[in-house]
Chains A and B, each alone.
Chain A
Amino acid sequence: MTTGGPAQSGAIAPSGRRLPPVATVAVASMALVLTGGIYLASYLPGRPALGPAVGLLAAAGVLLLANVVLLGRVQEFAWGQFFQVGRWVLLGYGVIAGMLEYVFVLDGTRGTPLVLMTLMLAVFAVDIPVLLAFSVARYQAADPTAEGTAPGRS
């Protein structure tokens, strides 16, 4: 059936085709950047060992890229709805991430911690549109114009 939240390893599209676990991967990536952010924030105004934060960010980035690859391989999908939702969510979470970045800069966060925080916010702001857009599009009928391929694929 079409049930299942992010905890589910895969979902089935209305067409009956099994979809990759994009939502699960996006939530895992989001959890990693949140953990990294909490780790950095808990040491303020000091500077913690940056290794764990870099590791968490790298892992989150890899998961995000994996999601892009997984999505790129999906066929028969409601890409129109995916991009329609994704654009608006990207705008909304871009504002939220920008708001948080503004507060960090205003409060004097500088150097490598600021770079790490910024990259974490960037991953966060991309993860969520992917997650929400996928969550909507997976219940929609595939685009008739998609002809079974993802955008950009021949």
Chain B
Amino acid sequence: MAAVRQDLASALPGVSAAAPPRPPVTIVPLRGLPIVVVVIALLIASIAADWRWAINFFHVAGGGLWTGIDLFVGLIVGPILGRMSVPARVEFSTRFMPKMLLIMPTLVTITLASGWQLAHDLGLLDSGYYRHGWVVASFIVVGVMAVIAIGILEPANLAVLFELKKPQPDGELIGRLMRRFVYTAAITGLMQVATLVIMTRLAI
């Protein structure tokens, strides 16, 4: 453990040998996988059985959590993280990023799949629907968010995790990638507000 501390101390400026031990780095928290499997199985069962309440629940709960987490991480956690010391950022990232790697794709999948099914059941996908323009607008917003999230946010998340696994992680690289993660989370969070506007327009 002392050796790890010494490695970190030599790798990251501002880290003393007395710094707290770095927690072991896990890329995917395996203990969370059964929960993901159960959630996805319930979603598939709800869609197959056309269980309207459950589909609605998945869409509202998934969408609410997705929006809330994006906004919270981007606008609250991000600025705090930016002011933390590099070792503190490393320790936070080590514990935080693996969880995000499991939570966010699951939330996105259940929100989109249940949302599509709900829109289909309610006839909102029909191009003759009088507010069809709003539905198409939601497709576009989700498409742009997907490009940002998958193209920038998720690669940064993964790259940080693999950097943290190195015996001597590059603190500057981690800081840069974390900033990218937080900024893109903030952008997608703000775009989620546009989604909220669209969804509430459709709900009237």
Which residues of A pack against B, CB within 8 Å? 2-3, 5-6, 23, 26-27, 30-31, 34-35, 37-38, 41-46, 81, 85, 88, 92, 95-96, 99-100, 102-103, 106-107, 128, 131-132, 135-136, 139-140
Which residues of B pack against A, CB within 8 Å? 28, 40, 43-44, 47-48, 105, 109, 112-113, 116-117, 120, 125-127, 132, 135-136, 139-140, 143, 146-147, 150-152, 154-156, 158-159, 162-163, 173, 176, 180
Contact A135 B44 (CB under 8 A): no
Known: A5-B151, A128-B150. A38 touches B136 (CB 8 A): yes
Distance of A88 Cα from B162 Cα, bound (Å) = 14
Contact B180 A5 (CB under 8 A): yes
Distance of A135 Cα from B160 Cα, bound (Å) = 10
Distance of A31 Cα from B151 Cα, bound (Å) = 9
Contact B147 A30 (CB under 8 A): yes
Total cross-chain contacts (CB, 8 A): 96
A–B Cβ pairs within 8 angstroms, 6 of them: A27-B147, A81-B162, A85-B162, A99-B109, A100-B112, A139-B173
Residue of A nearest to B173 (CB): A2
Contact A34 B158 (CB under 8 A): no
Excluding A131-B155, A136-B159, 7 further A-B contacts by CB distance (< 8 Å) are A5-B152, A5-B155, A6-B152, A85-B162, A92-B105, A99-B40, A107-B120
A-side contacts of B112, CB under 8 Å: 100
Contact A139 B155 (CB under 8 A): no
Q: Name which of B140, B151, B163 has the most chain A CB atoms within 10 A of its CB.
A: B151
- Report A88 CB to chain B, min CB distance, Å: 7
A-side contacts of B117, CB under 8 Å: 103, 106-107
A-side contacts of B136, CB under 8 Å: 38, 42
Distance of A5 Cα from B154 Cα, bound (Å) = 11
Distance of A112 Cα from B81 Cα, bound (Å) = 49
A-side contacts of B143, CB under 8 Å: 31, 34-35, 37-38
Known: A6-B151, A131-B155. A100 touches B162 (CB 8 A): no
Distance of A45 Cα from B135 Cα, bound (Å) = 14
- Report B117 CB to chain A, min CB distance, Å: 6
A-side contacts of B44, CB under 8 Å: 99, 102
Contact B162 A30 (CB under 8 A): no
A-side contacts of B158, CB under 8 Å: 85, 132, 135-136
Among A3, A95, A103, the residue within 8 A (CB) of B40 is A95
- Report B137 CB to chain A, min CB distance, Å: 10
Contact A106 B28 (CB under 8 A): no
Contact A132 B105 (CB under 8 A): no
Contact B48 A106 (CB under 8 A): yes
Distance of A139 Cα from B165 Cα, bound (Å) = 12
B-side contacts of A6, CB under 8 Å: 151-152, 155
Distance of A45 Cα from B117 Cα, bound (Å) = 13
Among A27, A38, A96, A136, the residue within 8 A (CB) of B109 is A96
Known: A42-B139, A43-B127. A3 touches B146 (CB 8 A): no
Contact B159 A139 (CB under 8 A): yes
B-side contacts of A102, CB under 8 Å: 44, 47
Known: A5-B156, A99-B113, A140-B162. A41 touches B150 (CB 8 A): no
